[in-house]
Amino acid sequence: MTFMRDYQDMVFTTAARLTGNDAQAEDIAQEVFIKAHAHFPEVKAGSPGGWLKTVTTNLAINHLTRYRRRWHMFSDIWPAGDVEWGVEDTLLADVGAEQRRRLVDNALKHLPAHQRIPLVLYHFDELSYQEIAARLRVSLSKVKTDILRGRAALLKILESSGLVREVL
Amino acid sequence: MNNNDRNDRTLTRLLREIPARRAPATLELRVVNALQGGATGAARYGYKHWPLPARGACLALCIAFAVLTVYAEASLPSPALLIPPAWVDGAIVTAISLYSALFGLAALGYHTLYRPR
């Protein structure tokens, strides 16, 4: 159980940011640790953090892929909106780490799945556009557009909280 | 540097510095219970994953219930006599057709919206 306590926050956070839903994230985290238990010698021998992160991401994407067609459809009809938003380098710099985390996690939950998922994979999991396109089985241009729109939407939500100001 | 590049850089820096969330206190207990067999039991999965005796018992129960329903319907007293047998047959056929249509529509909806590719 020490093993689990060391990694449960990371696993849960990864799943929660991808799914935007705490209950689903807890289900996914449970599955991840059951898989880790089944492959424990292999996990322990390699890089446990990397293994857990990869499995969590895969399970979350698999879970979300069930809704693929629905979010494709919404992605196509979602208005492009104003993507010409700029932020200062000091974005949220005057806010404490915990409050910043709460603000960003809350803002992520408000993004539609087709924007949140590539955005999280790009900014948190540090995947490239190409890797995201391959993982989600969508075109590269769609990934770029969704990330662009997701960023703008995220900044708008943060801006509405009064912590980010529009610089354009 | 345009706005998109600046947003990319600023958000990348901001988001990578954000600490992880705390996992719910219930997670550890759930995993322990699951590993002890609770959540990984047959009941969690579909019919085809049930143990053979459970599947057999379920099937037998369903057949018994269906037979019982037919007998109960057949043994209905006088009101049943007022309804021509052709109407009863028609009603059964209609009910089966409607049920099949509903099932087909639900399957089509699931296939269109949810089924993984």
**Residue with more model confidence, B84 or A119:** A119
The residue ranges of every structural domain in chain B are 80-117
Provide the pLDDT confidence category of residue A30 given band limits of 50, 70 and 90. very high
Q: Can you tell me the distance from the alpha carbon of A13 to that of A9, in angstroms, rounded to the nearest whole number?
A: 6
* Tens-place pLDDT, residues B49-83: 778 888 899 999 999 998 888 888 777 665 656 77
Alpha carbon A77 to chain centroid distance? Answer: 22
By CB neighbour count within 10 A (0-12 exposed, 13-18 middle, 19+ buried), where does A19 fall?
buried
Question: CA separation (Å) from B106 to A55, A90, B103?
Answer: 32, 51, 5
* Tens-place pLDDT, residues B78-108: 565 677 778 888 999 999 999 999 999 988 8
**Residue with more model confidence, A134 or B110:** A134
Which residues of chain B lie closer than 8 angstroms to A11, CB-CB? 23
Q: Supply the pLDDT for residue A51.
A: 92
Q: Can you tell me the distance from the alpha carbon of A151 to that of B5, in angstroms, rounded to the nearest whole number?
A: 11
Which residues of chain B lie closer than 8 angstroms to A10, CB-CB? 20
What SS3 class is residue B5?
helix
The residue of A1, A12, A18 whose CB has the most chain B CBs within 10 angstroms, and thus the best one to mutate to test that interface, is A12
Q: Do A98 and B19 touch (CB under 8 A)?
A: yes
Q: Do B26 and A11 touch (CB under 8 A)?
A: no
Whether the CB-CB separation of A57 and A125 falls below 8 Å is answered with yes
Q: Supply the pLDDT for residue A32.
A: 93
Q: Supply the pLDDT for residue A167.
A: 44
Q: Can you tell me the distance from the alpha carbon of A15 to that of A25, in angstroms, rounded to the nearest whole number?
A: 5
Q: What is the ipTM of this complex?
A: 0.71
Chain A residue at shortest CA distance from B22: A9
Which residues of chain A lie closer than 8 angstroms to B14, CB-CB? 91-92, 100, 104
